[in-house]
Chains A and B, each alone.
Chain A
Amino acid sequence: MGASRKAATISVPPYRKNQFRLLPYLLLIPSMTVMVIFIFYPFINSVRLSFYATDSMGHAGTFVGLRMWKKVLTSKEFRDSLIITLKYCGSIGVGTFALALILSYISVKMVKGSRIYQTMFALPMALATAPMASIFAYIFSKYGIMNAMLGTNNIWLSGKTLFPVVVFIVIWANCGPSFIYLLVGFRNVPNELLECAELDGVSPLRKFFSLYLPIASPQVFFVIFLNIITAFKSFTMIKILVGTDDSPLSTLLVKLYKYAFERERYETGCIYSLILCLLVFLVSRVQFYFEKKAVFYQ
């Protein structure tokens, strides 16, 4: 028995090309089944449902073609929602990037104790959004600490201050991952280069723009687009701080929630979800384009 196996393995290599093997397919079944049922089918079903009138159970009823699409796309509600979404995502994209850039640049040097503030700057990404939103709801409430500190009597989460306050909070909450990516990018700058720059008396500003930014350019681009895409998906903060009912911050995702889960108008919800998906896709295409053009790889 032993001898025969030995002979067999010597003459037969473990991997013969073009030999059909069942095992790889079997091992892929679990992941692939879940992906098909909970990622690919839902996507296709969203497209399908958007052409039907659905009942409250989410079954497709009568085929209405593009009528619902037309109704949504020409509505003022949709236009307002799109504008506020773009404004919101733009503000958060820029703000998060700027904050992460500053925090990572001041943390770039590894010294004794740098771990402490590095951990603190990254911490918000581990904090659940719902409890943090509750804490901020208190801080910015009428009797909250913000009014106490400033000596004002504002109701922050309403009227004109609502948008900047929510954007500020979301920037704080979203900053962690960008901070980490940029920090990793900045730490890629070789020490020899920094020493050369030091010897030549290069100013810190010049060092930042001519050394750190070019070398971290892959991370910089990644982070800019990551933030925009994350902002498209932000929901918890808005739901808890502002609410979903005719809120002044009705982003596309809030509309999706309102139509699909509060009113059981699944087809309208699906249309909003597909538009959201399209926007995310467009942003990734732009990212891809810029990455090819402008990123400097070592």
Chain B
Amino acid sequence: MTHWREILRTTPMRLTLRLVVLFVAASLGAFAVTWWLANEALLDATETVLEQQIDELSAADEPQAIGQAVKAAVKRSDSDHLLLRYDGPDGTVGNYLGRLPPGKFRQSDLEDEQHDVDGHYILLGKNVAGGTLTVGQDAEALTELRDVFIQVLTFTLLPTALLVLTGGVFIALRSARRAAAIEDTLARLTAGDLAARLPVLTGPPDDLTRVGSAIDRLAAAQEASVAALRQVSADIAHDLKTPIQRLAVLLSEARDKAPHLEVLDRASAEIDGIVATFQSLLRIAQIEGGSPRSRFAPVDLGSLAETMVELYEAAAEETGHNLHLTLTDPATIKGDRMLLGQLLANLIENALRHTSSGAITVFVENASLIVADKGPGIPKEERQAVLRRLYRLDRSRSTPGNGLGLSLVDAIVKLHDGSLVLSDNDPGLRVTVRFAEFTEM
């Protein structure tokens, strides 16, 4: 019962019902008008015929003769089809002697058992010499006309309406099934089952299919971001547990040995590391959460790279590296200068940290920043993974760093709608960041 009520509430069913009502009303109206016109035409024709009859019968214009003519006519005709009656000075003659409704041209149900008269008749009365002459014809033609119309109505309008209704119910059932599938998936998603996806909807694609695939995409994005969040939480727990453990050891050591500067320095360095990790994570979260682009301003990549290379040159020299800058038609892009500076700093620091010595080159080519080193590089299959937060290559576990440098770079590039590509520098790593060139409007 409730099932049917649900179907009635679906959009296709409502539309169908409305259309059926409209269609039936319009058809009925058209039928009514047609029938009325046909009926009138028929009545007109009948009246003409009856008038002729009266004219023939009353041609003599003398009561005696009219009575004779009527009697003769009665003998010739069948009272089922033709009624004749003359109310003259010598009484009434004819094949119908019953009650006569008033009026000139009229329809009426008449009954006269004596003359076998029973049915619906069209009557025309006229005053003639000596009295009233009334002629009537049975209304079978009118009844037939009505029957034809009713038949046409039954055999065309009703089946059409029924067909449309059935179709509507069918479509409504199908759409109700689809809606139920979508609702079911949404309910599962709400309940926390993020792996829930819509079953394949049968039939040609329509608006519901589009809504369904949009829901699927939403759920997939949601699932991915929750998975990322879980991954990060687990990584944080793991990556911070180790330094906190070391810190606890150092502090207990310091307590045993009385204040010992070297131990305290190491403890303080551990805390700095923990804080740096936390701050980088927050920073990435903030940038990924959509650091406002309203602060974006034109940034000259060439001069920014010059500043950063100049800043790191001294540090690079100390570690036996050779930091170069090559500018090829540097472009101006729209971005956050501070974040772009951080991006370059992270890439340069990465190169400094993961290569023992040798040349590190920063290229600025139009709107692209490239940092290339001659170190061990990153294996092809690991290139996507290193962008993940806290991910570190096995061999880098011993070098300083928290595994957030490239994640931050990735976040900054995404904020600027740029692209980040890690490739082989043969040997070494080549990081290419492409931005859209900023052109003054």
Q: Is A bound to B?
A: no
The residues of A with any CB-CB pair to B shorter than 8 Å are none
The residues of B with any CB-CB pair to A shorter than 8 Å are none
